[in-house]
Amino acid sequence: MEIPNFASFEFMISKNQIQYIKSLSINKFRRTHREFIAEGPKIIDELINSPFNVKGIFAQAEWININGSALPNDTSITEVSEKELDRISNLITPNQVLAVIEMPENKKPPKTINDLVLMLDDISDPGNMGAIIRTADWFGIQTIICSENCVDIYNPKVVQATMGSIFRVGVHYENLEMFLSKNSSGKIVYGAFQDGKNIYQTALNKKSLVVIGNESKGISKDIIPYITDKVSIPAYTFSNRQSAESLNASIATALICAEFRRQSK
């Protein structure tokens, strides 16, 4: 497939552009072209105020009229009709604007741990990944290290679920075991386990790593030896009532991050 040349301002989207944009929903094509998409005024507003490189904006006239002047001079803008936007959109209700964005290089994570770093061990659900990035941003966590089997953060469902936080939080893909074997010596590595110490009764050290396990399998066997401190979020049960066996991965992450921040205030 030929990569279309984004012109500076066009009043029509080409077939070739439509095909190209649609291909970016698929990981293989994102990897080949190193570009991804984001949609909707709120997320695009965050994009414009980020260091990410916008390759093309496809928007309805109303959006361009209001926001066009805020875009960098070298942005290629294509005006699209509602129908055309619907053809390129991944949303059930397309929302005014779609951007094609350059994927940044996968930089190495910082070596010094000055603050909480999240490590995601095979998080596979796009909604969870997006919610984790958004939550990390809320709690001022700047670094997330993903295992190589985590869902791609440039998957459109992840991008949309971050609500723009993807443009602020540093996300790095690493072989977690190799990373931990090289970098975790002398450091605290927390992991959430059913039999861990009640997180609300543990003095948490924020210069640490926190490992979050896969949605159904939990933390990998190979990673467990690196965990120095097992913690747990206590369930609230009464009488003999049975309760949920576990929490959703993004919710567990949020509860852990919140407790770190609560304690350090």
Interface residues with a second copy (CB under 8 A) are 49, 127, 131, 134-135, 137-140, 161, 163-165, 168, 200, 233-238, 241-248, 250-251, 254-255, 258, 261-262, 265
Q: How far is the CB of 254 from a second copy (least distance, A)?
A: 4
C-beta closer to a second copy: residue 116 or 150: 116
Q: How far apart are CA 148 and CA 121, in angstroms?
A: 8
Q: Give the three-class secondary structure for 152.
A: coil
Residue 233 CB, nearest distance to a second copy (Å)?
7
Angle at 116 between CA 248 and CA 195, to 5 degrees: 45
Q: Which is nearer to a second copy, 224 or 255 (CB)?
A: 255
Nearest CB to a second copy, comparing residues 21 and 123: 123
Q: How far is the CB of 97 from a second copy (least distance, A)?
A: 16
- Residue 72 and residue 47 in contact, taking contact as beta carbons nearer than 8 Å: no
φ, ψ for residue 156 (rounded to 5)? -55, -35
SS3 123: coil
Nearer to a second copy (CB atom), residue 173 or residue 200 = 200
Q: How far apart are CA 133 and CA 169, in angstroms?
A: 7
Minimum distance from residue 239 beta carbon to a second copy (Å): 10
